[in-house]
Structure 1
Amino acid sequence: MSLIRALIFVCVAVNLVHSIPVIPYSYPLYKQCDPAWGNNTIITTTVCEVGCLMSSVSMSLAGKGIQVDGQLATPGTLNAWLKTNQGYTSNDELEEGVVAELPAVQWVGPSIPGTSLSMEDIAELLNQRVTVILNVLNGGHFVLCVGYDSDAQTLYVNDPGFQTIYYNYSDVVGYRIFKMNL
């Protein structure tokens, strides 16, 4: 019996060592419903209700040290800037190309369908410190991708709307890609 336990332990240990998350760069975690900005309107709804993509972009901006009108990038400061720079459609959708008007930001648009990038592609982009925003939950939510585990087909995220820390590669239905450099 102890031999079987030892064998199981070795198999589990090998699997744990084999599967290690890679987090190439650290970003702040902003929640779209934070009281500091959650009730701010976009066009007709609030940041708390529909601000997941914009909040994900603001996390990347802040992580790269890119300011918005001389201030730390947060969902509050980015939302205010976007509102004054025609950064939203009348349906409260982010106009990603407008974000590229900020210094040191390049939008690699348009949106990319979920099957267009492999796990290896995503890992390469993250290792190059390219911002990868994942469209998940059947297209209803956006999160900032911060890391990966290629062996487990897992993508680690900063999720502005939920307490989720990872999604499976198969959960992704699209991408938004930005290059941000100071």
Structure 2
Amino acid sequence: MLYLASQSPRRRQLLEQIGVDFRVVDVDIPEQRALAESPREYVSRVAREKALAGLAAIREPRAFVLGADTEVVLDDEVFGKPADAADAAGMLRRLSARVHEVISIVWLVGRDGEWTDTSVSRVRMPELDDAAIAAYIATGEAFGKAGAYAIQGHGATLIEHLDGSHSGVMGLPVFETVRLLRAHGLMGA
């Protein structure tokens, strides 16, 4: 049986969309970047810790747990979820007219091993003025999202160019996830 160690509705939606049978396991992992930890190492560690915490909470001997984390990175700085509207506006101002990376890493863990895959996307936003930023924040979408935007909603209007995985920017890179699940017999061909 496959479990998803995430409360993210987007991750659940993406797994459902590709026809994966799974259950959700609730985990609470602190998301704090360690000193000298690269953005990629940080995202990988958090995703792995989610999966391992999920596995520890499940009694099924043949269970597999999927953990994922996605972060927006600009100039080696990880943009987490904004604390409030001012924080969201600050993030969007910094992303304006720039190319940033979205790192999305998936870990699949079971009693007999751990496997991972990574998606790195490059996203360019156009120049955003204060009115555009305020209008977007007013939609409510900026909250609870890394980098203060959601590519699957109104945030799509903030994306000038995407080089990479749309689903990876949403929070679960579907291609990489399917590759992991198929390799371990958790999804048909």
Alignment TM-score, normalising by the size of structure 2: 0.26
Higher Cα radius of gyration: 1
Structure with the higher fraction of residues in strand conformation:
2
